[in-house]
Amino acid sequence: MLAHSTTPPAEALSARQQAIVTISALTAKGDLPHLHDALAKGLDAGLTVNEEKEVLVHLYAYCGFPRSLQGLNTLLKVLDERKTQGKKDVIGKAASPITSTAPKYERGKRVLEQLSGQPEKEPKTGYAAFSPEIERFLKEHLFADIFERDVLTYQERELTTIAALVSLGGVEPMLQGHLSIGLHTGLTDAQLLQLMGVTEAAVGKKDADAGRVVLNQVLAGRKK
């Protein structure tokens, strides 16, 4: 079973989940004016300050420090404005300390296997064989340092990741992989289709339609 990850299947994304998708898509696109409004709406929809902050921190692994830092600065601006308006936003829980003494590479490998439901392939091929250092960075940092933080569930992290990849475009193999992971964490076909609609509202039809093509391929593959 996935640690701190699954929620019961639902027919539609909740308001909180839709807020995560919108924030992620706009951060990846670098659309700060609309991100400003989306962050405020996310707080109103029930996201805590730490949850929104965690979404923005998570995204640096997928769209780089510049987008992530700009997003965090935008969140700071939103919080300052809301404070002057007399709004009291819930800070929320911080990440629990990691107590495991296992090597980070092994922890990251285990997390990835939980996420995908598949054992690691050996021997390494493709980029992992060509650049073993980046394969180690992925395991130790992305899947250990970041995914192990329990401010967001695995499912929420996949919503964050998928929305960002759709918005970025041109990363179809990664999007395909994370759509499959999203399904493994309990997201339904209907929720992923809705995610594309929420992303379209945020960043436009072209990116969303490209995402729908990949999603349809993933769903068709599951039915074979």
pLDDT band at 122 (very low <50, low <70, confident <90, very high): confident
What torsion do the CA atoms of 154, 159, 164, 166 make, to the nearest 10 degrees?
A: 130
Q: Which of 209, 202, 143 is nearest to 20 (CA)?
A: 202
For residue 1, the model assigns a pLDDT of 37
Reported as a single tens digit per residue, the pLDDT across 1-20 is 354 544 555 689 999 999 99
b/e map of 166-187 (b: 16 or more CB within 10 Å)?
bbbeeeeeebbbbbbbbbbbbb
| pLDDT at site 208 | 98
Q: Per residue in 159-217, pLDDT tens?
A: 999 999 999 999 999 999 999 999 999 999 999 999 999 999 999 999 999 999 999 99
| Dihedral Cα 42, 47, 52, 55, nearest 10 deg | -100
Please give the model's pTM, rounded to 2 decimal places: 0.94
